[in-house]
Amino acid sequence: MIDLASRPIVLPGELLASNPKVAGSGTYIENGRVYAKFLGLLDKTDTSVRVIPLKGRYIPSVGDVVIGVVREVTGNGWVVDINSPYQGFLPVTENPEMKPSKKPNDVLDIDDIIIAKVMNIDPKMKVTLTMKDRMCRAVRFGRIIGINPARVPRVIGKKGSMIKLFKTKLGVQIVVGKNGLIWVSGDRRKVNIVEESIYIIESEAHTDGLTDRITEFVKRRKGELNGK
Amino acid sequence: MGSEEIRLIVDGKRLDGRGFEDLRPIKMKVGVLKRADGSCYLEMGKNKVVAAVYGPREVHPRHLADPIKAVIRYRYNMAPFSVEERKRPGPDRRSVEISKVSREAIEAIVMKELFPRSGIDIFVEVLQADAGSRTACLNAASVALVDAGVPMKGMISSVAVAKVDDVLVLDPMKEEDNYGQADIPFAFFIRNDRIESIALLQMDGRVSRDEFVQALEMAKRGAMRIYEMQKEAIKTKYITESEEEVNEVE
């Protein structure tokens, strides 16, 4: 069920409002008027006007949970590819697995995958990561699914509803990186269902009633598994 | 040039039957390249061009990166098969100039400060050329940038005006460009259905001051029509995607 009327597509430069106070994300203000900054869906309420992007590269913010791939090992840390125009750097001090007796490449080597958090971004967009958080770890098993970073909020769902759905109905472990990479671990067939659901969410992110449809889809597939 | 007796205006119409302010048929398709962040295939008359946008992404070589804003690279290139006499591959002086002025037009609208130390690459290939390829390329590049989700102040629409047989005509074709008296490509920064400023302006030939002002107004009208088509092409892509999903679910 689509309600494009409630979320119309807007193009860069479209005038959204004449009151600068309602300007939300995805907009810019010039001469007291609010315009769309990029191609996206317009989310207009009485108090705020924002544009939800349909596409775009992942730009890191402090506090984001990301999944990265180690590209280089240096004496004082690891250079991590976080699927962004900007590389991340994980200092040795921020990796709890690192002990003074070990060498950096024994703890994390090239092409290793980690779940990390963005700790700091300096004005020149140098991104520093940390693994000192409950969610963070080196990923040694499971599956990584890559999607368009702009669709990640939809995969998480309102207040984490989508993730909760996967966890409770299918019993899988799942961590969604803000940079478009998602780690899923569990029974292989259940992980397959999660993967298919994620691709459906990615392609239908801008439609309504998605949570219900995915719930239906998961229920159906789970039933097929048990029915065999 | 003037001694040849080529009549470009016959019975008040141009050689291809168009009126003085008629654009050539334009066709646009958005998102044609799966690997690019944004892309657009565009036909303007016999011109066929493809634009691809990559970015923002890391700049290689690193020393070209700007610590406070994104670096925009625009490459206009004509394929060897795009013209009758095979064009040798690689940039020539004309391509370099067109790339430069087009890049400056794009830089006027892209919000570069949002992506320091990164780059946005725009590649436009001319597959078939027939006068006005640079305007076709800019139109395609603008659509491709929107498709890529790059933050911009608005869009760029581009069209040329030529003076042939002492008459100003919009969107010249090859014969009018070759045998005309002047060729003036324009590009405008358009926002919210309004032309905000001129993003590109070049001229080849001679016109009087009044003729120039007239050409500017004619170009603005033509550019607004192209802008409508650009918007239409982009919105169509997303509306058809949604309709397909409705059919799948039902």
Please name the member of B155, B242, B249 whose beta carbon is closest to the beta carbon of A11: B155
- Residue B11 included in any domain: no
Whether B116 maps to a domain, the answer reads yes
Which pLDDT score is estimated for B239? 76
Question: Which residue is it, tokens 């280089």?
Answer: A72
* B20 has pLDDT over 50: yes
CB pair distance less than 8 Å for A12 and B57: no
Q: What per-residue confidence (pLDDT) applies to A212?
A: 87
- Look at residue B8 and tell me if it is in a domain: no
* Alpha carbon distance B239, B243 (integer Å): 6
DSSP string, A186-228: S-HHHHHHHHHHHHHHHHTTTSSSHHHHHHHHHHHHHHHHHH-
A110 touching B (Cβ < 8 Å): no
Query: Would you state the pLDDT for residue A6?
Result: 66
**Residue B132 structural domain:** 17-238
User: Which CA distances in Å does A26 have to A23, A221, B37, B121?
Assistant: 9, 37, 18, 22
Mean pLDDT of B151-176: 95
Q: Chain B closest CA to A59's CA: distance in Å?
A: 8
Q: What is the pLDDT of residues A51-80, one digit of tens each?
A: 999 899 999 999 999 999 999 999 899 999
Verify whether the Cβ–Cβ distance B154 to A55 is below 8 Å.
no
What is the arithmetic mean of pLDDT over B207-228?
97
Q: How large is the average pLDDT for residues A136-152?
A: 93
The verdict on a CB contact (< 8 Å) between B116 and A124 is yes
Cβ–Cβ below 8 Å for A12 and B152: yes
Confirm or reject contact between A43 and chain B (CB < 8 A): no
CA nearest to A200 within chain B? B245
B149:A56 CB<8 A: yes
Domains in chain A, CATH or no CATH each:
9-53 (2.40.50.100), 65-139 (2.40.50.140), 143-227 (3.30.1370.10)
Quick: pLDDT tens for B104-157: 999 999 999 999 999 999 999 999 999 999 999 999 999 999 999 999 999 999
Q: Does B250 map to a domain?
A: no
Q: Does B148 touch chain A (CB under 8 A)?
A: yes
- Could you give the CA distance from residue B40 to residue B27 in angstroms, rounded to a whole number? 10
Quick one: what percent of chain A has pLDDT higher than 90?
Answer: 66
Domain assignment of residue B192, yes or no: yes
CB-CB: which of B109, B116, B152 is closest to A125? B116
- Nearest Cα residue in chain A from B236: A9
B219 assigned to some structural domain: yes
Report the run of H or E that residue B244 belongs to, with start and end.
Answer: helix B209-249
Nearest-neighbour CA in chain B from A194: distance (Å): 18
The Cα-based distances of A153 to A136, B147, B221 in angstroms read 19, 20, 41
- Given a cut of 50, whether residue B207 has pLDDT beyond it is yes
Residue B243 covered by a domain: no
Task: Specify the number of domains making up chain B.
Answer: 1
Residue B59 lies in a domain: yes
For position B152, which CATH number holds?
Answer: 3.30.230.70
